[in-house]
Chains A and B, each alone.
Chain A
Amino acid sequence: DADVTQTPRNRITKTGKRIMLECSQTKGHDRMYWYRQDPGLGLRLIYYSFDVKDINKGEISDGYSVSRQAQAKFSLSLESAIPNQTALYFCATSDGRNGANVLTFGAGSRLTVL
């Protein structure tokens, strides 16, 4: 089994629908992140959490919300999806006790908003 699991892997939805992307990890890491990947723009940070009671906005948090249900689970929600939220979404984790902050990524969730 993968260390960082994202579900669903692919999702097609319509404008205005609420969507949740889920992430779970078996690494035992305390820190979790959601990134969005768009061609030519690299990865942009949406939200991040350094522990269960900590939630922080990244550079592009508008239109998104998150929930850290447990140390191992971090979900991303799109309250009312719009077409420019069509992208590849990645969850990542890291160990805050390790100053290097190496990220472990999930395989990605491809979201298409029609």
Chain B
Amino acid sequence: AQSVAQPEDQVNVAEGNPLTVKCTYSVSGNPYLFWYVQYPNRGLQFLLKYITGDNLVKGSYGFEAEFNKSQTSFHLKKPSALVSDSALYFCAVRVGGKLIFGQGTELSVKP
């Protein structure tokens, strides 16, 4: 079955430290991969996507993600976390023209 998984329900990081939110996928063919963020009481906002090309993708708010085909991963990263980055993060993969989402990872950045 084609799917995407986020192995961590929660990630805790100190402000100023680098952060990583993990995502692995299982799809046939070349994947289209996405990251979205959800702030409290808000809808999801698009952060970045990987379609093809450079394995390191840069997105909004200083986030980036690294596509690794051999490990079937698409981890979200940021060099220096901010308290305002605290939110729920979703990885997604395109299957048949629609997106399948992971279960989400709650990121908490403490001062």
Instruction: Please report the number of residue pairs spanning A and B whose Cβ atoms sit closer than 8 angstroms.
Output: 55
A27 to chain B, nearest CB (A): 13
How many chain B residues touch the partner (CB < 8 A)? 22
Q: In the bound complex, do residue B32 and residue A101 qualify as a contact, i.e. CB atoms below 8 Å apart?
A: yes
**CA of A89 to CA of B44, assembled, Å:** 12
Q: B-facing mask of A97-114, CB < 8 A → 1, else 0?
A: 001111111111000000
B108 to chain A, nearest CB (A): 16
A106 to chain B, nearest CB (A): 5
Q: Chain B residues with Cβ under 8 A from A105's Cβ?
A: 36, 43-45
Q: In the bound complex, do residue A42 and residue B103 qualify as a contact, i.e. CB atoms below 8 Å apart?
A: yes
Q: Chain B residues with Cβ under 8 A from A4's Cβ?
A: 43
Which residues in window 26-68 of B have CB below 8 A to A?
32, 34, 36, 42-46, 49, 51
Query: For residue A99, which residue of chain B has the nearest CB?
Result: B51
How many chain A residues touch the partner (CB < 8 A)? 26
**CA of A74 to CA of B101, assembled, Å:** 21
Contacts A/B (CB < 8 Å), 23 sampled? A4-B43, A33-B98, A40-B103, A42-B101, A42-B102, A43-B101, A44-B101, A45-B100, A96-B97, A99-B51, A101-B94, A101-B97, A101-B98, A102-B34, A102-B46, A103-B36, A103-B99, A105-B36, A106-B43, A107-B42, A107-B43, A108-B42, A108-B43
Across the A-B interface, give the 4 residue pairs with the lowest CB-CB distance, nearest first: A105-B43, A42-B103, A43-B101, A105-B44
